[in-house]
Amino acid sequence: MTDTTYVPIIKTSEAEMRAIENLSEKTKDAVVPLFELTRSRACKTFKRGDIFRRMAHLGVAFGEERRFFLDLTGDPFSRNEQIELLQDNAKGYRNWVRFLAGLKETFPRVVPVTQISDIGVRTEADFYAGIRQQVKALDDEFGQIAYRFPLFNYDSFARDLDEICSVIHASHITVVLDADFILRGMAEQYAKKASDILKQLERSPFRNIVVAGTSFPQNPTEYGDSKTGDIPLEECTLFDLLGGSTKAPLVYGDYATLNPKRSPQAGGNGWIPRVDMPIRKQIFYHRSRRSEVEHRYDPAYTRAAKRVVADERYAKASKKIGECWGIEQIEQAADGYPQGLSPSFWISVRMTIHITLRTILLSK
């Protein structure tokens, strides 16, 4: 029986941490996030950011006593020298093991994600010796680990898990099958591939098997036009298709409505304000461009929010969600008082609504 129902994969960047911080305590208790550790913002003292500042922010936003998985980001825009050192495979990933051991007093329920790297490794025997040394040390310290691998183009997962299970018991392992970005209309093809992998995984008594992915595009207007559109959540369809296909203890995961690839925010030409509203299996959005006489974004965000609230799908979804910071932000904006005027702020709004709704739907 799984002890987890929802694993959102979340980078520790500003927008994501704002979203996590503004979730209700009830919702925070209902999720077990997989955080990808990123650098903090640059400052005079830390010109490439600092991971310890990020962990301190995570503790404030999510709480130090709650259970979560911790991984390291692979995104080149979110890394720094500290993260690169933690990913070093030398001496059984010693830097990663020591870093996590140092976190345990503050975060007693953190679950480490196994690092896998072949950089500088001369032989396959050395490669797996390092992984075994890492997971044995982490299991001795924490009593459980997570192993994450991509759905496509990685055929070594079975060998990896065999090696890991040679030193720790499968019941101590949460497996995360990561579909990454799911192309539009391709959920069935992804499910077929995932089903073949799950048939292999269900032979071992793993603690949980998380199936995660996202279909949120880098350019949402691909799913509509310059004013409105609907974005289907292929990750929900993928999970539904897998529901009856395996005996494995499946757990739903996603990227909390973010695209895996980071993209820079708009530059000197500005952006078109957009307000997104997650519902059961899709996200609908409304946009409003600033007029030539408007020098601020307030009126445009208010128009976009009014259109969201007037959409017939909004009332049903917001009623089901109930109290939620993200819903409050949309309604305040629709009343003419938007609290945030940047795309980053409205990413946080979308995330809190989606995570809150997912917890409600998955609890049933």
Q: Is residue 75 included in any domain, yes or no?
A: yes
Q: Does residue 258 sit in the same domain as residue 276?
A: no
How many alpha carbons fall within 13 Å on the CB side of residue 316?
Answer: 5
Residue 263 sits at the vertex; the CA angle it makes with 307 and 224, to the nearest 5 degrees, is: 35
Whether 254 and 312 map to the same domain: the answer is: no
CATH code, domain with 186: 3.20.20.80
For 40, phi then psi, to 5°, come to -80, 180
Question: What is the pLDDT, as a whole number, of residue 243?
Answer: 83
Q: How many domains does the chain have?
A: 2
20 is a domain residue? yes
Q: What is the DSSP letter of 73?
A: -
* Residue 289 backbone zone (phi > 0: left; psi -120 to 50: alpha; other: beta): beta
Residue 197 counted as domain residue: yes
Structure confidence at residue 269 (pLDDT) = 62
- DSSP letters, 282-301, are EEEEEE-PPPTT--SSHHHH
Edge-to-edge strands of the sheet including 68-72?
110-112, 68-72, 34-37, 6-11, 250-254, 208-214, 173-181, 145-150
pTM of full prediction above 0.85: yes
Question: 275 and 243 in one domain?
Answer: no
Alpha carbons 175 and 148: distance in angstroms, whole number: 6
**Does residue 87 lie in a domain region?**
yes
pLDDT at 1: 44
Which of 12, 55, 60 lies closest to 33 in space, CA to CA?
Answer: 12
Shared domain for 280 and 328, answered yes or no, is: yes
Same domain for 301 and 204: no
Do 251 and 143 lie in one domain? The reply is: yes
Instruction: Report the pLDDT value the prediction gives residue 328, as an integer from 0 to 100.
Output: 98
Q: Which regions of the chain are under pLDDT 70? A: 1-3, 41-49, 263-269
Q: Same domain, yes or no, for 25 and 139?
A: yes
Look at residues 274, 251, 259 and name the one whose alpha carbon lies nearest to residue 358: 251
43 and 119 in a common domain: yes
Are residues 313 and 348 part of one domain? yes
8-state DSSP, 224: B
Asked if residue 281 and residue 198 are part of one domain, the reply reads no
The CA dihedral of 322, 325, 326, 331, to the nearest 10 degrees, is 80
Q: Distance between CA 301 and CA 346 in Å, rounded?
A: 10
User: Do 235 and 280 share a domain, yes or no?
Assistant: no
| 1 in any annotated domain | no
Domain carrying residue 325: 264-364
What CA–CA distance (Å, rounded) separates 147 from 164? 9
DSSP class per residue in 242-295: HTTS-SS-EEEEE-TT--SS--PPP-TT----EEEEE-SSEEEEEE-PPPTT--
Q: Using the Cα atoms of residue 96, residue 98, residue 101 and residue 106 in order, give the sign of their dihedral.
A: negative
Same domain, yes or no: 244 and 140: yes
Asked if residue 243 belongs to a domain, the reply is yes
What is the rounded CA–CA span in Å between residue 135 and residue 129? Answer: 10
* Predicted pLDDT at 39: 84
